[in-house]
Structure 1
Amino acid sequence: MVSQSELLTKKSEHIQRMFGSIAGVYDLLNTILSFNFDKSWRKFAVRVSNVTPDAQILDVCTGTGDLAIEYSLKLNDRGKVTGSDFCREMLEIANRKLKKKHVSDKINILCADTLHLPFHDNYFQVSSVAFGIRNVSDLKAGISEMARITAPGGRVVILEFSQPTNTFFREMYYLYFKKILPFIGKIISKSTCNAYAYLPSSVLNFPDRYGLKVQMEACGLVDVKIYARTLGIVTIHVGKKP
């Protein structure tokens, strides 16, 4: 069993174990706990990425592959998405999902650590991550690695939970986020790691939308745009590699 304090250290073995323990119910809980908004968030992230139909795209921390699949729908026969993750249990589900949705020809799945991506510099038009960069042990190193493999003029796209700015809504949301969500998540997932208590803790310990923008700029990205969605529950950051 991995404790909350161990998870918040974000050591790779702890994060791997946590996601491995919830892989089988991850998609179901995403839908339930986000009230099905997660699909629209990913669609919007793809839309503001400005991908061309023949793009090469890397989706890190791809999990069960939902963002990679969304990108693949925008590509022609020359375009390709690569989804990488270091949790094999998640990738097994991703591979089954690709076959079921008949998009295996447009998406490659591989096991890789976001902090050590096995790709040449300046290769991808877009590098993306949805709800994953918050879990890497070194945020700046993770963003820098995404920027490294992105071609000049390409974009780094980060979809992540955020903190609502409206005071009244924030109080209601935090009640759900801190109390109700972990309770539902624990019952359904039966995770011994209590992964859905880690979720709000990790979000509240993560930089806010402006802090993340500063981190992206510190990694050499420019013209970083912030798109808040669903009253600020999530934000999409899009930074350009000069």
Structure 2
Amino acid sequence: MLTQTELLTKKGDYIQQMFGSIARVYDLLNTILSFNFDKKWRKFAVKVSNVAPDAHVLDVCTGTGDLAIAYSKVLNQDGKVIGSDFCHEMVRIADHKLRKRKLSDKIQVIEADTLRLPFHDNYFQVSAVAFGIRNVSDLKSGITEMMRITAPGGRVVILEFSQPTSPLFKTIYYTYFKKILPFIGKLISRSRYNAYSYLPTSVLNFPDRYGLQAQMEACGLEDVKIYSRTLGIVTIHVGQKPCK
């Protein structure tokens, strides 16, 4: 029987390989499968972060860098964004995207595991993640690590899929989410890992908006606010690291 550590390592390895297999079509599928709402969700997450123009921001599980790019738009020349991801293929595509958009001077992407971030304590004013914390093999450790590198008084921001709040819409949404989305995702990505079948399963097994709020508070974050968007399809949680 595998130990807890071995199980978490095995999940991490699978996630890493799965996202590597869809990296080349990740942006396209995000746009298609979210009906282009993903850009609005990230923009709103940045807004409720209340980030200072000269802040240092870390975007963990950055993928191809879209949340990092969204943060860079509200920063001045003294602000800095770093995106980290443990998937080599994602980091490579993010780096190419940044160079193509001439954003490499404002955003840096590195290959790093969210559970072992290579930064000093209290370095960033904001640590954020979009659609990635659900894939971290140990949720509590992931939140704790994000909190560690965040300065006292800074914010931890989590944008994640959640369960719709409207009973009628929930029925329609789950039909799309469980059946249509995986079909389209597999058709376009041609990934043997069935990444877009994993997506609805992982969302349904993830804590609901209040459960995640409780997890963040249990890790020591204060004043954790919840913002639901698009009938509850996604939720943004913003918690503050204690000043002392």
Q: 1:8 offset after TM fit, Å?
A: 9.9
- Quick check: 1:124–1:154 contact (8 Å CA) kept in 2? yes
Q: Residue in 1 aligned with 2:21?
A: 21
TM-score normalised by the chain length of structure 2: 0.95
Residue aligned with 1:228, SS: strand
- Quick check: 1:216–1:239 contact (8 Å CA) kept in 2? yes
| Structure 2 letter corresponding to 1:191 | S
Q: Provide structure 1 residue ranges, at least 5 long, that are not aligned to the other structure.
A: 1-6
Q: 1:102 offset after TM fit, Å?
A: 1.4
- Quick check: 2:119–2:149 contact (8 Å CA) kept in 1? yes
Q: Residue in 1 aligned with 2:159?
A: 159
Sequence identity (%)? 78
| Structure 1 letter corresponding to 2:240 | K
Q: Residue in 1 aligned with 2:55?
A: 55
| Separation of aligned partners in 2, 1:8 and 1:195 | 18
Q: Residue in 2 aligned with 1:128?
A: 128
| Structure 1 letter corresponding to 2:78 | R
Q: 1:11 offset after TM fit, Å?
A: 1.5
**Poorly superposed stretches of 4+, deviation over 2 Å:** 7-10
Q: Residue in 1 aligned with 2:77?
A: 77
Q: Provide structure 2 residue ranges, at least 5 long, that are not aligned to the other structure.
A: 1-6
| Separation of aligned partners in 2, 1:188 and 1:9 | 28
Q: Residue in 1 aligned with 2:88?
A: 88
Q: Taking structure 1 as reference, are residues 10 and 127 closer, same or farther at Cα in structure 2, changes over 3 Å only?
A: farther
Residue aligned with 2:110, SS: strand
Instruction: Tell me the number of residue pairs that the alignment of Structure 1 and Structure 2 aligns.
Output: 236
| Structure 1 letter corresponding to 2:31 | T
**Could you give the per-residue CA deviations for residues 44-78 of structure 1, whole angstroms, max 9, x where no partner exists?**
00000011111000000000000000101111111
Alignment of 1:146 with 2:158, yes or no, is no
Residue aligned with 1:207, SS: coil
Alignment of 1:41 with 2:41, yes or no, is yes
| Separation of aligned partners in 1, 2:8 and 2:141 | 17
Q: 1:224 offset after TM fit, Å?
A: 0.3
Alignment of 1:199 with 2:238, yes or no, is no
| Structure 2 letter corresponding to 1:118 | P
- Quick check: 2:8–2:138 contact (8 Å CA) kept in 1? no
Q: Residue in 2 aligned with 1:115?
A: 115
| Separation of aligned partners in 1, 2:18 and 2:42 | 23
Residue aligned with 2:49, SS: coil
Alignment of 1:182 with 2:189, yes or no, is no
| Separation of aligned partners in 2, 1:76 and 1:203 | 35
| Separation of aligned partners in 1, 2:97 and 2:230 | 27
Q: 1:107 offset after TM fit, Å?
A: 0.7
